[in-house]
A and B are shown apart, each in its own frame.
Chain A
Amino acid sequence: MAEVRAEITANVWQVTAELGQLVGEGDEICILESMKMEIPVVTETPGVLAELHVAPGDVVQEGDLIAVIDES
Chain B
Amino acid sequence: MTSTGGGDVHDWGPLVGDLAERRERALAMGGPDRVERQRSLGKLTVRERLDLLLDPGTWVEYGLLADHMDPGLGDRYLAADGAITGIGAIDGRPVAVAAYDFTVMAGSMGRVGEDKIARLRAHALSQRIPMVWLLDSAGARIQATSGSGFAGAGALFREQVAMSGVVPMVAAMLGHCAAGTAYIPALADFVPMVKGTSSMALGGRHLVKAAVGEDVTEEEMGGSAVHTTISGVADLEVADDRECLATVRRYLSFFPAHNRERPPVREAGAAGAPADPVDRRCEELYGIVPTAPRRAYDMRKVVTAVVDGGDVLWIKPGWAKNILTGLARVGGEPVGVVANQPMVLGGALDVNAADKAARFVWLCDAFNIPLVFLHDVPGFIVGSAVEKQGIIRHGAKMLFAVSEATVPKVSVVLRKSYGAGYFVMNGMAYEADYIVGWPTAEIAVMGPDGAVNIIHRKTLEAIPDEAERAQRRLELAEEIRAHIDPYVAAGHAQLDAVIDPADTRRAIAEGLRVARDKRVERPWRKHGVLPV
Could you list which residues of chain A lie within 8 angstroms of chain B, going by C-beta atoms? 7-9, 34-40, 61-62
Contacts and interface: CB of A to CB of B under 8 A. Distances in A.
A9 B379 CA distance: 15
A37 B385 contact: no
A40 B290 CA distance: 15
Given A34-B346, A35-B345, A62 B295 contact: no
A40 to B, nearest CB: 6
A37 B381 contact: no
Contact of A37 (B296, B382, B383): B296
Contacts of A38: 294-296, 346
Contacts of A39: 296, 345-346
A35 B379 contact: yes
B57 interface: no
Interface string B360-401: 000000000000000000110111010000000000000000
Contacts of A62: 385
Nearest to A38: B294
Given A8-B345, A34-B381, 20 more contacts: A8-B346, A8-B348, A8-B381, A9-B385, A35-B345, A35-B348, A35-B378, A35-B379, A36-B294, A36-B346, A36-B378, A36-B449, A36-B450, A37-B296, A37-B346, A37-B378, A38-B294, A38-B295, A39-B345, A40-B343
B344 interface: yes
Given A39-B296, A40-B296, A9 B383 contact: yes
Interface in B302-358: 342-348
30 contacts: A7-B344, A8-B346, A8-B348, A8-B381, A9-B383, A9-B385, A34-B345, A34-B346, A34-B348, A34-B381, A35-B345, A35-B348, A35-B378, A35-B381, A36-B294, A36-B447, A36-B450, A37-B294, A37-B296, A37-B342, A37-B346, A37-B347, A37-B348, A38-B294, A38-B296, A38-B346, A39-B296, A39-B346, A61-B385, A62-B385
Contacts of B347: 37
Contacts of B294: 36-38
Contacts of B344: 7
Nearest to B292: A38
A40 B178 CA distance: 39
A36 B326 CA distance: 27
The 8 closest A-B pairs by CB, nearest first: A37-B346, A35-B348, A35-B378, A36-B449, A39-B346, A38-B294, A36-B447, A35-B346
B300 to A, nearest CB: 14
A11 B341 CA distance: 20
Interface centre among B345, B381, B449 (most CB of A within 10 A): B345
A36 to B, nearest CB: 5
B452 to A, nearest CB: 11
A56 B347 CA distance: 22
Contacts of A7: 344-345
A23 B98 CA distance: 48
Contacts of B296: 37-40
A64 B383 CA distance: 16
Contacts of A35: 345-346, 348, 378-379, 381-382
Interface in B444-499: 447, 449-450
B332 to A, nearest CB: 34
Centre residue among A7, A35, A36, A62 by max chain B CB count within 10 A: A35
A38 to B, nearest CB: 5
Contacts of A36: 294, 346, 378, 447, 449-450
A42 B347 CA distance: 16
Contacts of B383: 9
Interface string B273-295: 00000000000000000000011
Contacts of B385: 9, 61-62
Nearest to A34: B346
Contacts of A40: 296, 343
A7 B344 CA distance: 9
Contacts of B447: 36
A7 B348 CA distance: 12
A12 B127 CA distance: 58
B191 to A, nearest CB: 24
A7 B382 CA distance: 14
A35 to B, nearest CB: 4
A41 B342 CA distance: 12
Contacts of B343: 40
A10 to B, nearest CB: 9
B346 to A, nearest CB: 3
A8 B391 CA distance: 14
Contacts of B346: 8, 34-39
Interface string B8-40: 000000000000000000000000000000000
A62 B344 CA distance: 13
Nearest to A37: B346
Q: Which of B343, B348, B382, B447 has the most CB of A within 10 A?
A: B348
Nearest to B450: A36
Contacts of A8: 345-346, 348, 381
A7 B379 CA distance: 16
A40 B344 CA distance: 8
A57 to B, nearest CB: 13
A36 B444 CA distance: 14
Nearest to B418: A36
